[in-house]
Amino acid sequence: MDKKLLTIQDISCFGQCSLTVALPVISACGIETVILPSAVLSTHTAGFKNYTFRDLTDDMSSIEKSWLDNDLKFDAFYTGYVCENQIQPILNIMQSCAAPGAVRIVDPVMADNGKLYPGFNADFPQKMAQLCNGADYLLPNMTEAAFLLGEECRLEGYDREYIENTVRKLHSLGAKNVILTGVSFDDKYLGCAVSDGKKIEYDFNERLSRCSHGTGDLFASVFAGAIVRGKSALEAAAIAADIVYCAIPATPEEHWYGVCFEKVIPDIVKLLK
């Protein structure tokens, strides 16, 4: 029987991120994709003004009840941007609606470039750490890792020892596999550290001269699809990174608000055949 993945994150109606990326990308991986919106925004919060925001926490328990009434179970869970009061409701759903052996993939979307995203209070990383406990795969960027661990954020000037100590500390939160993104030891290559708790491996691509919004969501979505398709964590991370690496130069310079992931969907299908 085909596997079902439930992804829990926001809908930013405009901006090519979150569910508007996860749904088509994971579907392209050949996975039946079920969605649970955590919030609805008119746009994402980076670079847009006067965006609207509606928290959907109050709907979660009734949606869970409907799924239970219909005996719906999911083979994988993938979380992204969630709201302050949603950690326990999400944990409840992951418990009650899990098929045997269900996999939990947690992208602790809350910060980048040394700062929390707008709307999150200073204690939110402690709440997010509860969601990380029991995750089969945890995908923080360097900033999110620092916030989860309550440490000063270092985005440059570190060595392998620092990265590997950070990865070990992330395991101590209760994550089985850690994929730490945004790792770089020089100005030529950018990638991630992948750990199963026993060994740490690395995957790098050449550093591109530009950045794009939504690349983290694209990486996590491809990673989730590849994991459910049976790839190892290192294989899934490498495929996800290659897709991001192709999508950024396929995005016009004036297209500042997101990455044109639609152009690389054929590549996702090809890599997962």
**pLDDT tens-place string over residues 15-63:** 999 999 999 999 999 999 999 999 999 999 999 999 999 999 999 999 9
Confidence label for 119 from pLDDT (cuts 50, 70 and 90): confident
Assess contact for 40 and 13: CB atoms under 8 A: yes
- Closest to 223 in 3D by CA, of 57, 53, 79: 79
Gap between the terminal Cα atoms of the chain: 18
Domains of the chain in start order, with CATH, are 4-266 (3.40.1190.20)
Residue 1 has pLDDT above 80, yes or no: no
Residue 251 has pLDDT above 90, yes or no: yes
Residue 191 has pLDDT above 80, yes or no: yes
Confidence label for 140 from pLDDT (cuts 50, 70 and 90): very high
Assess contact for 186 and 175: CB atoms under 8 A: no
pLDDT of residue 198: 97
- Point out which residues pair with 201 in neighbouring strands: 194
Mean pLDDT of the chain: 96
CA–CA dist 193, 147 (Å, integer): 18
- pLDDT tens, 153-187? 999 999 999 999 999 999 999 999 999 999 999 99
Residue 246 has pLDDT above 90, yes or no: yes
CA–CA dist 124, 71 (Å, integer): 32
- Closest to 24 in 3D by CA, of 214, 206, 230: 214
**Is residue 159 classed exposed, middle or buried when 0-12, 13-18 and 19+ CB atoms within 10 A define those classes?**
exposed
Which structure tokens are listed for 194? 């992948």
Which structure tokens are listed for 155? 């985005």
Confidence label for 127 from pLDDT (cuts 50, 70 and 90): very high
Beta carbons within 8 Å of 63's beta carbon, 6+ residues apart: 36
Residue 96 has pLDDT above 80, yes or no: yes
- pLDDT tens, 197-213? 999 999 999 999 888 89
